Structure 1
Amino acid sequence: MSNPTKDKVELESGNLTDFPKIYCPFIRQTFKVNRDDWKKFGSRLQLRSPEAYLVVDRVNPGYEWVFEDPETFAVEKLDGSNVKVLTEGGRLIKLQNRKNVIDPLQIIKGKTFLIEGVLMSASKGLIKPDGEQAGELIGPKLQGNPYKLDIHEWYPFDTAIDRLRYRSFEEHERTFDNWSDWFKDWLFSRYYTKRASKLGLTDKVMAEGVVFYNLKRKAEGKTWRAKLRRDMFDWYISDKIEIYNYDKKGRDEIEEQEKFD
């Protein structure tokens, strides 16, 4: 959880605040997988070693609000790269990709696609004239370009809350099995669906996952975000890679959740 006092000091000094780690509302546990299967498909499924970090049907302590609080809602988690911007008087002062500060004037051998994404968003009126904003950079050079973009775009998280919310989330019981079914077959990208509609396209793209928000808890200074991705479920890899001893009930041994991305 971010420190409000530290954040205020950093902003006043012109520094960007850190990206706070967002945790999963379910407990994640490590499961060994078949090494031969991993050698064939691990890279494609983004498994760095022959093991998978999967969710089980146990609530991560402190995240009961995701399941119980009616103020909680779900927003599409875009599949790109975290980027923060700092503006003053409509001028771009600083740019940060995860923990790396980017010089916005470095156009030779620099990451110009980051600037392209920010400028594209500015042209759409998505960037505030003053202050810090965080968002997701998406486009051709990122994550295989699932949204089939021709140029990069930086999408503020505040805009995602407004435009990429899953309204059907409130209509169903918040259980492991319900969310597993939803994520497997029905979690279509809200961003791409809107884009496809404007272009007259009818195909579908699966979302990477969702971020759960609770703005009431944010105002109270409590943990107010959680994330859940499709690749955290066993079915995401089990059709190609054998998982050893997976049971959705999980083990009594609780691993440190900090180590999971």
Structure 2
Amino acid sequence: MSYNNILFQVESGIATLTLNRPDSLNSFTSEMHSEIRQALKQVKQDATIRCLLLTGAGRGFCAGQDLNDRAVAPGEAMPDLSQSIKQNYNPLVRALMTLDKPVICAVNGVAAGAGANIALACDIVLAARSANFIQGFSKIGLIPDSGGTWTLPRLAGRARAMGMAMLSGKLSAEQAEQWGLIWQAVDDEKLLDEANSLAAHLATQPTKGLALTKRAINAAGGNSLDQQLDLECDLQYIAGCSHDYREGVNAFVGKRKPEFKGE
């Protein structure tokens, strides 16, 4: 399938989805959302894909919503922003966070508004040292969406979440790493190499076990200790019935490299 707003390719078990509207810092439009949904549907359904890498083209990762796509002429009624959230942003966040495969995000430049929160919804986030994260919503009278009010306090704590949301200042990649918002800040010229190397590694790992790990960690914030222990028990049962668990044990005993199939 050909796309106008994204680049999408699959190779060696890795699906790479690149936001591709560099002239507008890869800001979201309804058409871009539609194309992303189609690509993510393929990622979900194709068993040969075992890792997703999300990044942006040009000098930015994503500047959030393209406000020109919501332009209102004088005298017209204001748009119902909840419809855009329901139709586009919420499904995207849910798709990334529930995808039963690892999701890596390589933040190659500014990640602002929804762009920042979409990046933080991914499982492992790498960012170029020149990149920065900006909430930006408060500057136009809005609240953080795309999961921002859920993700930020869980990753950075309430005080930092409030500061980022209300002040909308720039948070450098290195500061984001120190605060625990992202996995790692890397030199700009090494970003894609590091991200591709990480994706290549994850694409050879026990995909089912990684998916169950993701499910457990994402559930932890809303569970009591007893609930989480029960969930671990249930998910470990599923993992223990997998081909990859058997292969991992046999490879360990046989002192050889395992050949995981993601099953």
Q: TM-score range by the shorter chain?
A: under 0.3
Q: Which has the higher contact order (CA 8 A, sep 6+)?
A: 1
The answer to which structure has the higher strand fraction is: 1
